[in-house]
Chain A
Amino acid sequence: MKAADFSYHEVVNLQDAIKIKAQDDEAVILAGGQSLLPALNMRLSSPTCLIDISKISGLNEIKIDGQTLFIGALATHSDVMNNKTVKDNMPCMIDILKMVAHPAIRNKGTHGGSIAYGDPAAELPALAVATNAEIIVSGQNGERSINAKEFYLGLFETAINQDEIVVGIKYPLLKQGQKIVFDEVCRRHGDYAMAGLIANIMGSKNDIKDLKLVFFATGDKPDVADKTARLYLDNGYDYDKLKNSLSSEIDFAGDLNSSSEMKLHLATVLIKKVLSKLEN
């Protein structure tokens, strides 16, 4: 199918984008277009006005900012994967991005676009929640910072206001002894996951001091499972108990590829798969 008609505005600075967005309720941001264009082509969405922010300079910076790794909204997935600062400070992000779509899509798709879109099956929103990242947005009243957990409200629903644009994400640098481990199940390398898990772990295999489990492609947003993490720490891996706990903690939502029952099973098994990757 083909997209419906819309007006197209290419902007070269952030203030212009904010201005148009604030004036027009229907205006939609176009960054890499790798989620928006499929939706337009399939007529799942037909906005009347697109604001192309991809040519704003300076929004693709990647740097260490205090105790955080800052990734500018317009850095593409490929930019992030090939960046030395990311490699040195958060190599897990590169491993995770290898599972995000395919090379030609990663050449265009942006970090900020993935965070702002909030696809429940996407890896980066779950990583942001798992690492307690801050999402920096800019609007008519200036900048504000939103904690990732408060950013995701529901299915494709975020705390961004109509006049706001994501400008970057701040990931706290990992501390001594802290590890991010992840895995997912998908039908084809690069496809959206049927279920995935990112674990933020403090300690070693036989002595886990703190554990945070964040699932994706399970419910309507990144799903934090604190009770289940506690249960794992107290009792170790017990499939039935963990499955019970997950089903009470997460509202599993089936999709085309997998029923909610199947997602619950995959999520339970992922706990074992992910934690067995830990070294002593």
Chain B
Amino acid sequence: MVAKNLVNISFTVNGERFNNVNVPSRQHLADYLRSQGFTGTHLGCEQGACGACTIEMDGKAVRSCLVLASQANGTNLKTVEGFDDEMMEKVKQNFLKHNAFQCGFCSPGMLMTTKEILLNKKKLTRDEIRSEISGNYCRCTGYQSIVDAIEECINEIN
């Protein structure tokens, strides 16, 4: 990427430290992460609508296409590659069980959104689950299986 303006930043991705790296000011975080090999972060629309690029920044779900890489300075990031704790392993098992992974394009964003639902410890109805995932497009499953998987995850932790 040709860029006149570079910004020097430091941050953490999945526990790995990135110190004093130069990023083009105009580059969004999803492109930067993908350029560093974190290709689990997918890009669909680059305007906030599809949710495929959703990652965790300082404990909260954000759209990585709507955050500049330079804005990640000082933050702690987690991408789908780092979803390996006990809770997320269970979530992935439930997604597999209900056939909620099909082509997999939406999956990183769906997993992140599920993670946030579980961390907020909300007990949700199926309708509420649908509205929580309304910001994540899936072109394969018809959502039914994803709602099934999330419902099972919620029941397990509550």
Chain A, residue nearest B133 (CB): A102
Among A34, A41, A42, find the residue whose CB has the most chain B CB atoms closer than 10 A: A41
B80 to chain A, nearest CB (A): 14
Please tell me if the beta carbons of A103 and B67 are within 8 angstroms of each other in the complex: no
Please tell me if the beta carbons of A3 and B26 are within 8 angstroms of each other in the complex: yes
What residues of chain A lie closer than 8 Å to B5, measured between beta carbons? Answer: 5-8
Chain B, residue nearest A76 (CB): B60
With A2-B31, A8-B7, A41-B47 already in contact, the answer to whether A190 and B135 are too (CB < 8 A) is yes
Interface string of B1-37 (1 = CB under 8 A from A): 1011101000000000000000011111001000000
Chain A, residue nearest B24 (CB): A5
A3 to B65, CA, bound (A): 11
Please tell me if the beta carbons of A107 and B62 are within 8 angstroms of each other in the complex: yes
Chain B, residue nearest A4 (CB): B26
Among A4, A33, A102, A107, find the residue whose CB has the most chain B CB atoms closer than 10 A: A102
With A5-B5, A5-B26, A6-B26 already in contact, the answer to whether A37 and B48 are too (CB < 8 A) is yes
- Name A22-47 residues within 8 Å CB distance of B: 30, 33-34, 37-38, 40-42
A34 to B28, CA, bound (A): 12
Interface pick from B68-76, B83-91, B99-107, B148-156:
B68-76
Q: Does B41 contact A (CB under 8 A)?
A: no
Please tell me if the beta carbons of B25 and A103 are within 8 angstroms of each other in the complex: no
Q: Does A131 contact B (CB under 8 A)?
A: no
With A1-B46, A105-B48, A189-B134 already in contact, the answer to whether A37 and B28 are too (CB < 8 A) is yes
Please tell me if the beta carbons of B113 and A54 are within 8 angstroms of each other in the complex: no
What residues of chain B lie closer than 8 Å to A2, measured between beta carbons? Answer: 1, 26-28, 31, 46
A interface residues, tally (CB under 8 Å)? 31
Interface size class of B (residues with CB under 8 A): 35 or more
With A7-B5, A107-B60 already in contact, the answer to whether A37 and B116 are too (CB < 8 A) is no
- Name A176-200 residues within 8 Å CB distance of B: 188-190
Q: Does B79 contact A (CB under 8 A)?
A: no
Q: Does B54 contact A (CB under 8 A)?
A: yes
Q: Does A94 contact B (CB under 8 A)?
A: no
A7 to B68, CA, bound (A): 12
Residue from B46, B70, B135 within 8 A of A104 (CB atoms): B135
Residue from B28, B51, B62, B70 within 8 A of A41 (CB atoms): B28
Q: Does A101 contact B (CB under 8 A)?
A: yes
Q: Does B124 contact A (CB under 8 A)?
A: no
What residues of chain A lie closer than 8 Å to B112, measured between beta carbons? Answer: 104
Q: Does B66 contact A (CB under 8 A)?
A: yes
Q: Does A226 contact B (CB under 8 A)?
A: no
With A1-B46, A105-B63 already in contact, the answer to whether A33 and B68 are too (CB < 8 A) is yes
Q: Does B132 contact A (CB under 8 A)?
A: yes
Q: Does B144 contact A (CB under 8 A)?
A: no
Among B27, B51, B63, B134, find the residue whose CB has the most chain A CB atoms closer than 10 A: B63
Q: Does A243 contact B (CB under 8 A)?
A: no
A47 to chain B, nearest CB (A): 11
Q: Does B131 contact A (CB under 8 A)?
A: yes
Please tell me if the beta carbons of B67 and A33 are within 8 angstroms of each other in the complex: yes
A103 to B62, CA, bound (A): 8
A113 to chain B, nearest CB (A): 12
A26 to chain B, nearest CB (A): 14
B75 to chain A, nearest CB (A): 11
Chain B interfacial positions (CB closer than 8 Å to A): 1, 3-5, 7, 24-28, 31, 46-48, 51, 54, 60-63, 65-68, 70-71, 73, 112-113, 116, 130-132, 134-136
What are 18 sample pairs from A and B whose C-beta atoms fall under 8 A apart?
A2-B46, A5-B5, A5-B24, A6-B25, A33-B67, A33-B71, A37-B65, A38-B66, A41-B65, A52-B71, A102-B51, A104-B113, A108-B62, A108-B63, A108-B67, A189-B130, A189-B134, A190-B134
Q: A105-B66, A189-B130 are in contact. List 10 more A-B contacts (CB 8 A).
A: A2-B46, A7-B5, A8-B7, A33-B67, A103-B61, A104-B54, A108-B66, A108-B67, A190-B134, A190-B135
